[in-house]
């Protein structure tokens, strides 16, 4: 048993505040990897075998769910020529960097360790890695090894991973064969989920700007056969421009024709969407992922999040990768999403955006047990200290998680009932050693 004792407030993962405007605090009791109870009155009995984490002066939330990342890009941050540029310039710059270092399981493991560690230290308990970089010479077995190396990094640190086998201008048949083999090797059960829920396999091309109908249809066949979730990127401004130039049609129209507007599909970005397209997405049961920390600095647009939510689309939150957003700090991007929302429709409350970063992201992954704190939900939790000067004078500590203290980190993080961050430090590894190992690998490989 694990008890988070005497929390000041407990945010359960929903956007609504109680009648008095503040969530109650108390104890959160965890047994066998799930939340056993939420007790508003502290003092849950414990035994000699019970671990107790002091949560006094803290807000407890569900673990954050980063619904859209590119973990490999954590090895390629702040590269010259990759900021505020058109996609047509950004893509070859990143490709040249990948080629100079060489993408293989060793690099994938080192980059994933870095990115997952960064995420855990900032409260991200589940991350979806849309892996799009597959050297042309890689065999199917080698792609499986790369995926396994990424999954191994997350498991070593105690984080949950959704590995999305992506494609970006890859041969459609080879990519589909690889996706099928990765699912068979890593998570063969229908639904692509391991029995302990720590690893999930999903599938998805980069977008209509890079992949054609054949890739989308072949990936769709693999997903249908194995029951995998599907994800792709759509309607960044560049995506729309390329689709119009190449097909004379907008991306949402193409995705509809190619069978990719269904309830098992999540679309990331959606910066440039019309009212009619939003209505169609809502009608089809599609989910969305907002990635402001990528889209804004790159000048690729601002998703109309309020309009998407008002239409009934579940909206999650993602950081995207280090090639466009140099941080994997989802709470910081939640703050950014809240701050820019008035420019794209209407303001969003802190609770709305915090629910996007938890329950909204989990919904898009098809994981109702994540992103919520309720009896029976997965025991993925963050303990945020709000007792310091950065939170002084804050009337609503839950809203203050986003409004105050940019870059805040949780004191403790729990995944599946296990403490993986204690007193701001990783339990399973030394973050400086992880960083040093990646730096040494890149130094050895770069010309």
The whole-chain average pLDDT of the chain stands at: 95
In this model, does residue 354 exceed pLDDT 80?
yes
Q: What are the Cα distances from residue 13, in Å, to 82, 199, 335, 398?
A: 35, 22, 16, 11
Residue 150: alpha-carbon gap to chain centroid:
15
Torsion of CA 35, 416, 367, 62, to 10 degrees: 60
Please say if the pLDDT value at position 22 is more than 90: no
pLDDT at 176: 98
Residue with the larger pLDDT of the pair 224 and 23: 224
Residue ranges of the chain assigned to CATH 3.20.20.140? 64-364
Cβ atoms 237, 272 nearer than 8 A: yes
Give the per-residue pLDDT at 46.
75
Q: Residue 229: which pLDDT band, with cuts at 50, 70 and 90?
A: very high
Q: Looking at 84-98, 168-182, 339-353, 359-373, which range is the least confident one?
A: 84-98
Neighbour count for residue 395 (Cβ, 10 Å): 8
Give every strand in the sheet of 199-205, ordered side by side.
64-69, 124-131, 160-167, 199-205, 230-234, 265-269, 287-290, 315-317
Q: Between vectors from CA 121 to CA 117 and to CA 126, what angle results, nearest 5°?
A: 70
Q: Kindly state the average pLDDT of the residues 333-351.
A: 95
**Domain 2-62+373-416 class in CATH:** mainly beta
The residue among 123 and 50 whose pLDDT is bigger is 123
Q: How much is the average pLDDT of 415-432? A: 98
Which tens digit of pLDDT belongs to each residue from 167-220? 999 999 999 999 999 999 999 999 999 999 999 999 999 999 999 999 999 999
**What is the structure's pLDDT at 337?**
97
Residue 18 has pLDDT above 80, yes or no: no
Read off the pLDDT of each residue in 126-139 and give the average, rounded to a whole number: 96
Give me the mean pLDDT over the 85-93 stretch: 85
Joined together, the tokens standing for residue 311 give 């239409």
Ranges for all domains in the chain classified under CATH 2.30.40.10:
2-62+373-416
Nearest Cα residue to 417 out of 39, 137, 50, 46: 50
Decide: 201 and 180 in contact? Cβ < 8 Å: no
- Alpha carbons 403 and 207: distance in angstroms, whole number: 33
Q: Confidence band (pLDDT; 50, 70, 90) for 231?
A: very high
Integer Cα distance of 275 and 267 in angstroms: 16
What mean pLDDT do residues 148-158 have?
98
State yes or no: pLDDT of 44 exceeds 80.
Answer: no
Instruction: Judge whether residue 123 has pLDDT over 90.
Output: yes
CB burial of residue 111 (10 Å; 0-12, 13-18, 19+) = buried
**Residue-level pLDDT at 41:** 77
The three-class DSSP label of residue 176 is helix
State the pLDDT confidence band at 85, using cuts at 50, 70 and 90.
confident
More confident residue, 68 or 345: 68
- pTM of structure: 0.97
* Residue in the structure block whose two tokens are 């280090």: 322
| Mean pLDDT for the stretch of residues 277-288 | 98
Q: What's the pLDDT at 89?
A: 87
The percent of residues above 70 in pLDDT, for the chain, comes to: 99
Residue whose tokens read 């909204």: 360
Confidence at 282, pLDDT banded by 50, 70, 90: very high
Q: Write down the pLDDT at residue 160.
A: 98
Return the CATH number of the domain spanning residue range 64-364: 3.20.20.140
pLDDT of residue 21: 66
Task: Give yes or no for residue 91 having a pLDDT over 90.
Answer: no
* Model confidence band, residue 16 (pLDDT cutoffs 50, 70, 90): confident
Q: Stretch 59-81: mean pLDDT, rounded?
A: 97
């Amino acid at each position: 048993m694990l008890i988070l004792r005497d929390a000041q407030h407990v945010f359960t993962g929903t956007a609504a505040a109680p009648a008095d405007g503040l969530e109650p605090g108390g104890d959160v009791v965890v047994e066998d990897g799930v939340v056993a109870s939420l007790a508003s009155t502290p003092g849950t009995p414990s035994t000699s075998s019970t671990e107790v984490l002091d949560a006094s002066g803290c807000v407890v939330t569900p673990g954050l769910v980063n619904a859209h990342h590119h973990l490999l890009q954590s090895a390629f941050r702040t590269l010259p020529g990759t900021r505020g540029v058109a996609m047509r310039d950004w893509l070859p710059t990143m490709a040249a960097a990948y080629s100079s270092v060489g993408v293989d399981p060793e690099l994938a493991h080192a980059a994933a360790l870095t990115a997952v560690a960064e995420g855990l230290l900032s409260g991200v308990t589940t991350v979806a890695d849309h892996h799009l970089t597959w050297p042309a010479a890689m065999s199917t077995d080698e792609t499986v090894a790369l995926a396994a190396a990424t999954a191994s990094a997350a498991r070593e640190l105690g984080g949950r991973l959704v590995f999305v086998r992506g494609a970006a201008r890859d041969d459609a048949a080879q990519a589909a064969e690889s996706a099928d083999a990765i699912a068979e090797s890593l998570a063969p059960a229908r639904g692509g989920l391991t029995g302990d829920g720590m690893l999930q396999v999903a599938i998805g091309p980069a977008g209509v700007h890079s992949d054609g109908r054949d890739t989308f249809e072949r990936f769709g066949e693999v997903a249908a056969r194995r029951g995998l979730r599907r994800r792709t990127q759509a309607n960044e401004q560049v995506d729309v421009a390329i689709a119009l130039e190449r097909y004379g049609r907008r991306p949402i129209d193409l995705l509809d024709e190619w069978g990719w507007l269904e309830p098992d599909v999540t679309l990331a970005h959606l910066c440039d969407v019309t009212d009619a397209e939003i209505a169609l997405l809502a009608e089809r049961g599609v989910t969305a992922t907002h990635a402001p920390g990528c889209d804004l600095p790159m000048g690729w647009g601002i998703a109309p999040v309020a309009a998407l939510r008002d239409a009934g689309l579940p909206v999650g939150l993602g950081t995207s990768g280090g090639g466009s957003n140099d941080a994997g700090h989802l709470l910081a991007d939640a703050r950014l999403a809240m701050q820019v929302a008035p420019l794209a429709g209407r303001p969003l409350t802190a609770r709305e955006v915090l629910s996007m970063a938890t329950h909204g992201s989990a919904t898009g992954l098809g994981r109702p047990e994540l992103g919520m704190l309720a009896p029976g939900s997965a025991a993925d939790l963050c303990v945020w200290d709000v007792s310091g000067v950065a939170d002084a004078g804050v009337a609503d500590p839950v809203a203050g998680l986003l409004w105050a203290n940019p870059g805040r980190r949780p004191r403790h993080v729990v995944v599946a009932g296990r403490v993986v961050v204690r007193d701001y430090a990783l339990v399973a590894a030394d973050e400086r050693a992880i960083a040093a190992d990646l730096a040494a690998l890149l130094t050895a490989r770069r010309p």
